[in-house]
Amino acid sequence: MKYSVVHVSEASLEELIRQNPDNIESGLRFVDHQRKAGRGPYDVLLVDSGKAVVVAELKITEDDSILTQGLDYYDYVASNIDGISRAYSKFDIDPNQEPRLLLIASSFSNLLINRCKWLSIPISIFIFQCIEFEERKGEVIPIFKEIAVPTPPERVEIPTIEEHLSYITDAEARQRAEEFLEQVRQWDITKVATEAIKWEISLKIAGRVFGYLGPRRKHFVLYTWDENDQWKTFPIKSKEDMKKITQILKHNFESVKIDYGIK
């Protein structure tokens, strides 16, 4: 069947949504439109299949102001959800559910779509196109397509030595670990670095690792080479343990300096 794309007014688009909100999302029901909501009237109010109220802001052209306007109306509805649920009691709106925001326009800028990823409210974006079939003149059919909102990047948590040491709940063991790190730094204050990584604290000389300190609740452990040049885990639970591992670690420290020609 042949069809053509037709342009509609915003009022016509509202009416098309009122007639068939299910075209946007299965289970959507029309509640009201153009009711005063703070600074102005919202475009369309809907309720979804889960009984959550949905605020829909419409534009027939690409217009980034749709986001700020939609948020203003969303703020009003969310702040008055109890009264709205009572006013439209026949729609069985659940006031305990977080309202949703729907943005509907012919197109959206990449800038607006990218901004939406930082919103913590439930938001959906739909582009629309209205068509008319030659065999059914005068019958305008809106077609809606959802645009995916990008997922915000995961925040990379940068660990710190203080956070790792605070994992040690035994105060004496934590103090012992702090003293141990300071002692290691003094071996070469210009080239030794103690750096927090995901689970441990690395011990480096001029960027070369010679050991790791791993915090535990009641003690800490040292990862380094033993006398047979095997990588081992050494639990440090006492001053005697620390004295022994210090000798081993100092030997490994000097060996790394020699192997890599570190002066």
Predicted local confidence at residue 154, as pLDDT: 81
Domain 3-147 has CATH 3.40.1350.10: yes
* Residues listed for the chain: 263
Predicted local confidence at residue 202, as pLDDT: 97
Predicted local confidence at residue 153, as pLDDT: 85
- What sign does the dihedral 7-10-12-14 (CA atoms) show? positive
User: Residue-wise pLDDT tens for the chain (263 aa)?
Assistant: 788 888 999 999 999 999 999 999 999 999 999 998 877 899 999 999 999 999 999 999 999 999 999 999 999 999 999 999 999 999 999 999 999 999 999 999 999 999 999 999 999 999 999 988 877 777 889 999 999 999 988 877 889 999 999 999 999 999 999 999 999 999 999 999 999 998 999 999 999 999 999 999 999 999 999 989 999 999 999 999 999 999 999 999 999 999 889 88
Q: 161-259 has which fold?
A: Aspartate Aminotransferase, domain 1 (3.90.1150)
Return the CA Rg of the chain.
32
Predicted local confidence at residue 94, as pLDDT: 94
pTM: 0.64
HEC secondary structure over 210-233: EEEEEECCCCEEEEEECCCCCEEE
Predicted local confidence at residue 193, as pLDDT: 96
* Domain layout of the chain by residue ranges: 3-147, 161-259
5 touches 129 (CB < 8 A) = yes
C-alpha distances in Å from residue 200, one per residue of 37, 162, 179, 215, 222: 54, 11, 16, 7, 10
33 touches 14 (CB < 8 A) = yes
